[in-house]
Amino acid sequence: MTITDLVAPEAILPALKVNSKKQALQELAARAAVLTGQNERSIFEVLLQREKLGTTAVGYGIAIPHGKLPKLEKLFGLFARLERPIDFEAMDGQPVDLMFLLLAPEGAGADHLKALARIARLLRDLEVAKKLRASRDAQAIYSVLALPPSTVA
């Protein structure tokens, strides 16, 4: 599974304008609902419930909000580069400007965890994050996400 198996070019938001964590999650849920045919409120609720367990900000300005939906048929990803960094209650105190939403079918189990790990590995690569922050349009961002994983562990 590659990142591009999870994210389609139309699932990339190159300059999302939000002022808060809640607003960011609402915007991601709205876009995901359009692309998956799932209920926007259900997606938003799943994301909020997950955040209540602990922030999905992983440090370095990156957040990976995620959740499982009963009616979803396959893993779904959506990437957003925020126009302005927002507070996401990250452990390192850094504001978040790169977000990768991951939605999984309820029975996804290991596939969900593998996808989360792959996303985290890719986005925590400093060169990849730098390129994503420098990319201004969806196609450029998609090209960065489509890069093969670096061979450096």
The mean per-residue pLDDT over the stretch 85-106 comes to 96
Q: Which pTM does this prediction carry?
A: 0.94
Render pLDDT for 12-53 as a digit per residue (tens, 0 to 9): 999 999 999 999 999 999 999 999 999 999 999 999 999 999
**What pLDDT is recorded for position 4?**
87
**What pLDDT is recorded for position 50?**
96
**What pLDDT is recorded for position 54?**
95
The mean per-residue pLDDT over the stretch 56-63 comes to 96
The mean per-residue pLDDT over the stretch 75-98 comes to 97
Hey, is 132 helix, strand or coil?
helix
**Looking at the annotation, which residues are catalytic?**
66
**What pLDDT is recorded for position 152?**
40
Asked if 55 and 31 touch (Cβ cutoff 8 Å), the reply is no
Based on its alpha-carbon atoms, the radius of gyration of the chain, rounded to whole angstroms, reads 14
**Residue 75: band (very low, low, confident or very high) from pLDDT cuts 50, 70, 90:** very high
Helices (H), the chain: 3-6, 21-36, 40-53, 110-123, 126-134, 138-145
What mean pLDDT is reported for the chain?
Answer: 93
- Fold entry, domain 3-145: Mannitol-specific EII; Chain A (3.40.930)
123 has a pLDDT exceeding 70 = yes
